[in-house]
Amino acid sequence: MATTTEGSESLQLKFRIFDGTDIGHGTYFSSITAATLKQKLLSEWPQDKSVVPKSVSDMKLIHAGKVLENGQRLADSGLCVGNLTGEVITMHVVVQPSVAEQKSGKKQDQHSCSCTIL
């Protein structure tokens, strides 16, 4: 249920990872930033998964097709619009290693596809 405390609305959120597992289900204030949410999710990430983020910068939070920037508050993301009383909002979490890690990391199999349209 959405309530107001200290000028911030509270929302019920859950976060869905790549395999459909939901993590981090709980009540969050609309004043919380995406970076703080990512830090919480990183600490709760199931370690038995094949993909585990190493840092907050490896994760992206997506809601309604929009990526939340680290400094962005939930209230600024448009997430708090409408009548969401009692509803649980699902955000998607995408894990993507940082560019530096991809360049310096192990060489991965790179497959390329080329198509010819006749």
Amino acid identity for residue 113 in this structure: C
Gap between the terminal Cα atoms of the chain = 57
**pLDDT digits 0-9 by tens, 57-109:** 999 999 988 999 999 999 888 775 455 567 899 999 999 876 554 455 554 54
Q: Where are the alpha helices (DSSP H) in the chain?
A: 34-44, 99-104
The answer to pTM > 0.75 is no
Q: Which domains does the chain have, with CATH numbers?
A: 4-100 (3.10.20.90)
Query: Phi and psi (nearest 5°) for 5?
Result: -140, 130
Whether 118 has a pLDDT exceeding 70, the answer reads no
Tokens standing for 60?
Answer: 């992206």
Confidence of residue 9 (pLDDT cuts 50, 70, 90): confident
**Residue 66 bridge partners (DSSP):** 63
